[in-house]
Amino acid sequence: MVSPSGPLPRSGVYYFSQGWKLVREPGIKRFVLIPLLVNIILMGGAFWWLFTRLDVWVPTLLSYVPEWLQWLSYLIWPLAVVSILLVFGYFFSTIANWIAAPFNGLLAEQLEARLTGATPPDTGVFGIMKDVPRIMKREWQKLSWYLPRALVLLVLYFIPGIGQTVAPVLWFMFSAWMLAIQYCDYPFDNHKVPFKEMRISLRQKKIINMQFGSLVSLFTLIPFLNLVIMPVAVCGATAMWVDCYRPKHAMWK
């Protein structure tokens, strides 16, 4: 369990591993249930459909490879598959996070109280419904920040050569950073820290957050593990909040 005294920040790998432990904590499991069900239904169905379409989409993407790079097809083919998985995985994880956002915020709130020894807020259904407009506004802020940058990267995919070599790497790095923002935002938003201020704080510990986001992004691509990654990531990000950001930003509602 994370110490309430605020130990020195550890690596993003540590906080990701903590997420897998904390998600199984007694008293926390019931708050995991709804985010888990949302992710299983949406991501499970989405990836099943995706795998039925890969044999069409991969050749289409490879058709943009110029003739002088055809000799690299054996390397570009796996990059094309990873590219499709990255774009598709992030798109559907975003939808899942929109649907589960109020419950992810509740999970972060309850876990933070447990980690710090505070009295857990008594948030019922009415409390969750009351916060929905604020939470949805925050999700829209994240989407508005994400979309223009994502569109630029998607355009790169259609540039011969660059789209099949450089773009997948840039997309993975961008997805890692965006997923760190996505999941760290739940405890920040619980304390009403403005979105811009949160991004500034995350940039101050960019290596830790990139490590954490990279692992979340990677596990989003792995069948079956991607079905449970949402609550795990919320728990890991909340542990990171307690250690790295709470002393500066904490303010119970």
Q: How high is the pLDDT of residue 71?
A: 56
Q: Pick left, alpha or beta for residue 251 (phi over 0 → left; psi -120 to 50 → alpha; otherwise beta).
A: beta
Nearest to 105 by CA among 142, 77, 75: 142
What's the angle, vertex CA 238, arms to CA 235 and CA 241, rounded to 5? Answer: 160
Residue type, 113: A
Between CA 59 and CA 66 the distance in angstroms is 13
User: How far does Cα 71 stand from its chain's mean position?
Assistant: 36
User: How far does Cα 172 stand from its chain's mean position?
Assistant: 12
- Neighbour-count burial of 58, counting CB atoms closer than 10 A to its CB (0-12 exposed, 13-18 middle, 19+ buried): middle
Q: How high is the pLDDT of residue 252?
A: 45
In sequence order, what are the residues at sequence separation of 6 or more whose Cβ sits closer than 8 angstroms to the Cβ of residue 8? 243
Residue with tokens 């890991």: 236
Nearest to 200 by CA among 212, 184, 176, 216: 184
Q: Which two tokens stand for residue 151?
A: 């569109």
- Residue ranges of the domains in the chain? 12-249
Q: Which two tokens stand for residue 74?
A: 């054996």
pLDDT in tens, the chain (253 residues): 444 444 555 899 999 999 999 998 888 888 888 788 887 787 777 777 777 776 776 676 666 666 665 555 666 667 666 766 777 666 777 777 777 888 888 899 999 999 988 876 666 555 666 777 888 889 889 989 988 998 888 888 777 767 667 888 888 899 899 999 999 999 999 898 999 999 999 999 999 999 999 999 888 878 778 788 889 999 999 999 999 999 887 654 4
Q: How high is the pLDDT of residue 225?
A: 81
